[in-house]
Amino acid sequence: MQSGSEAAGGSELPAVPGAAPADRHAVRAEIERRTAGQRLTPAQRRIAQCMVEHSAGLGFLSSMELAKLANVSQPSVTRFAMVLGFEGYLEMRRFLRSGLSGEAAAPADVETNRYQAAALSEASNLTELAQALGDADLIDRFGEALAHSRPLAVLGLRASAGLATQFEYFASKVHPNVRLLAAGGSLIEDQIEQCHAAGGRTLLAFMMPLYPRETLRTIAFARQVGMRVALVADASYVDHDGLADMLLTARVNSRLVYDSYAGASVLISVLLDAMCSHMNGEAQKRLDQIHRSSQKRKVFAG
């Protein structure tokens, strides 16, 4: 808990001589540097957003005032200061009052709001993904495993359900037997057993934060019955030893209230392409048939 004089301050305290307000780009860069590799809670994300938005007067706000702006409790603000590596809110405020330099921030000709910053962060994530995709052999192994598994099981629960559904929608156009496992529940192990009994040898699993225990149990069960696991996961997930036979990662953007998955969406297209390349022309034939059929039935307006 902060001292009474600190918590009861006005919206702005008198400026310290020689102190300069923190630049919003510098504040954003400093928060990212100090939280690298950590997953922030929704409350902590709101506090971080408010710190960036109110960077000019941030060094003179009390913890109670910042909590009110972020619509969180005062202890949440204090805990977030500790997450950033400070002993408490007062130490963080002194650091900000000292005139945090904008040198750590990325150069910018114009001010950006948090939505623009989130989009720019995704661009950075895609650049990182492009470098990771230099391992063409790994992509080829994924594609071969997906193409040759008949049926192919595709797992995605909770936040990952949308990614699994997207992959299954397009894969089903060329792959003769794709089975989507996105509902969870007590039947999921039955579905895994049935898929394996029918000849399926690969489970493609999408696992994004917060990594449901049910997903981990399903992956373990699939390996237990003899299936290979091809896993697409968040780049910050490091406890994957023994969990998957093949692993591809894409960084998740956590700047806004909910995560965004631009990198994972790109991986879906990459895996679909790699799978089609191992279908000996079968994929193109099926796509041509679908195209002719949709034209004949006038499925699409354009």
> In angstroms, how far is the first alpha carbon of the chain from the final one?
62
Token pair 């945090």: residue: 100
Is residue 83 exposed (0-12), middle (13-18) or buried (19+ Cβ within 10 Å)?
Answer: middle
CA dihedral 101, 102, 106, 108 (to 10 degrees): -170
**pTM for this model (two decimals):** 0.71
CA angle (233, 224, 138) in 5-degree steps: 40
Q: How far is CA 35 from CA 24, 62, 164, in A?
A: 16, 22, 29
Please tell me the class of the 4-111 domain.
mainly alpha
**Structure-block tokens of residue 285:** 């034939």
The rounded distance, in Å, linking the Cα atoms of 149 and 270 is 18
Average pLDDT over residues 181-192: 92
- Name the nearest CA neighbour of 189 among 219, 233, 228: 219
Q: What digits encode the pLDDT tens for the residues 120-135?
A: 889 988 988 998 899 9
| pLDDT in the model for residue 121 | 85
Quote the CATH superfamily of domain 122-297.
Glucose-6-phosphate isomerase like protein; domain 1 (3.40.50.10490)
Confidence of residue 253 (pLDDT cuts 50, 70, 90): confident
Q: How far is CA 165 from CA 96, 172, 270, in A?
A: 45, 10, 16
Q: What digits encode the pLDDT tens for the residues 234-246?
A: 987 776 677 899 9
Q: Contact at 8 Å (CB) between 43 and 76?
A: yes
- The structural domains of the chain, with segments of one domain joined by +, span 4-111, 122-297
